[in-house]
Amino acid sequence: MTADRPYEARDRDACLALFDSNTPTYFTVGERPGFEDWLMTMDPTTYRVIERDGRVVACGGVELEPDGATASLCWGMVDQGLHKQGLGRALTQARIEAARALGATALRCDTSQKTTAFYERFGFVVTSVETDGYSPGLDRCEMRLAL
């Protein structure tokens, strides 16, 4: 059984394990401390986890930016062994809906070239690319979706 629920402090280690499963393909080792810090300071009402049979298999959030009109996707990931099973699609759709519920008129996504095609399926458009922006071979791509 698969369930979507708000993040709780007890999910920290499971979310870090998801991060590790996606390193170095989708994240760099150097990003992990930032994710760890963010998990300890973020508003847990803005972050979700997906559980399958009692195990956290995906996580991701959305936060409203100070302008009040733009929201940003934050730290979305699926256990690498479970990619291509619809979990990322479900997580992304839920985050788009959450951004709309916050009153955002645009949604921003900071990702790499490895996932731009995935987000384009939801209507996101690449607005800028910084070659090797995360690390050699891992470009930083800014994407945007009009809500």
How many degrees, rounded to 5, is the angle at CA 27 between CA 26 and CA 33? 165
**In which band, very low, low, confident or very high, does the pLDDT at 3 lie, cut at 50, 70 and 90?**
confident
d(CA 119, CA 143): 8
Q: How many helices (H) and strands (E) does the chain have?
A: 4, 7
Angstrom CA distances, 106 to 36, 69, 113, 114, 134, stand at 27, 7, 21, 22, 24
Q: Is the pLDDT of residue 117 over 90?
A: yes
- CA pair distance 71, 58, nearest whole angstrom: 20
Contact (Cβ atoms closer than 8 angstroms) between residue 59 and residue 76: yes
Query: pLDDT of 41-87, one tens digit each?
Result: 999 889 999 999 999 999 999 999 999 999 999 999 999 999 999 99
Domain ranges of the chain: 2-146
Between residues 2 and 93, which one has the greater pLDDT?
93
Q: What residues contact residue 128 under an 8 Å CB cut-off, 6+ apart? A: 141, 142
Instruction: Note the pLDDT of residue 44.
Output: 87
User: Does residue 1 register a pLDDT over 80?
Assistant: no
CATH 3.40.630.30 fits 2-146, yes or no: yes
pLDDT at 2: 78
Mean pLDDT of the chain: 96
Percent of the chain with pLDDT over 90: 95
Rounded mean pLDDT, 27-53: 94
Does residue 38 surpass a pLDDT of 90?
yes
Q: Residue 78: enclosing H or E segment and its boundaries? A: strand 70-78
3 contacts: CB under 8 Å, gap ≥ 6: 50, 51
Q: Which two tokens stand for residue 44?
A: 């847990």
